[in-house]
Amino acid sequence: MENAVSESALNQLFLKARTYNEWSDKTVDDSTVRQVYELLKWGPTSANSCPARFMWVRSSEGKSRLAALASERNRPKILAAPLTVIVGNDLSFPDTLPKLIGERAAEAAKYFAQPGVTESTAMRNGSLQGAYLIIAARALGLDCGPMSGFDNAGVDKEFFAGTRVQSNFICNLGYGKPDSPFPRNPRLSFEEAGCLV
C-alpha cells in the first residue's frame, strides 16, 4: 500500500505491541516524556477541544500516593514502572478554546455548555487522546501498561484538587520485561466487529 508505514512500524505500534505488567529499571527521561506529549497532542479532537490533561507521575513520593489508590493487583505495577501517567478529562476544557480555535471559541463553548455535552465531549475526546498517548509512546520505543483499576474519586482528590479534571485511566510507561505480558488474547474478526456497507 502506497504511503503505508513500514512493516516494522506496524509491528511496533500494533501487531507486536503488548500490554506490559513488569518493568526494567531503565528510566524515562524528561525529554522522552515531552516527546510523547509533542506527538500525541496532534491527534484530532472534536472542535480541537483537547480536553485531556496528563499528570506524569515519576517521583517515588507521587508513585506511593497513586499506588495507595489502586487495586491490590495494580499497586506493584505502578510502583515498579518508571513512569505512570494519569489521563484525565478537564470539564473546564471550553476555557482553553480561545487559544485552540480563536474566534470560533464563543460559539463552540455555548454548544459544549449544553446539559450532558461537556461530560460526553470530555470523555470521548479525552479517551481518544489517551489512545494517542499509547500510540505515541509505542512509536518512541516505550512500552505501555494501561489500567483502570483504581479509585477515580480518590485520585481526583489527590492529584487534581481545585480543578475540574476527572481521572479516566492511568498508563504505566517504560521498558517492559519481555516475558511479562499475559498470553495474547484473540480479537474479534472484521465481521464480528462490524460490516462494510
Query: Which residue number, 19 or 32, has a Cβ lying nearer to ligand FMN?
Result: 19
Q: What is the C-alpha separation between 57 and 30, in angstroms, rounded?
A: 12
DSSP 3-state helix, strand, coil percentages of the chain (rounded to 5)? Answer: 45, 15, 35
Give the dihedral of Cα atoms 16, 131, 128, 158; nearest 10 deg. 160
Is 89 a binder of ligand FMN (CB under 6 A)? no
Of the pair 98, 146, the CB lying nearest ligand FMN is at 146
> Does 74 interact with ligand FMN (rule: CB under 6 A)?
yes
Q: Which of residues 134-193 bind ligand FMN (CB under 6 A)?
A: 146-149, 169, 181, 184-185
Residue nearest to ligand FMN (CB): 149
Please tell me whether residue 84 binds ligand FMN under the rule CB under 6 A. no
Map the footprint of ligand FMN across residues 8-27, applying CB under 6 A. Answer: 18-19
Q: Are 147 and 79 in contact (CB under 8 A)?
A: no
Q: Interface residues with ligand FMN (CB under 6 A)?
A: 18-19, 74, 146-149, 169, 181, 184-185
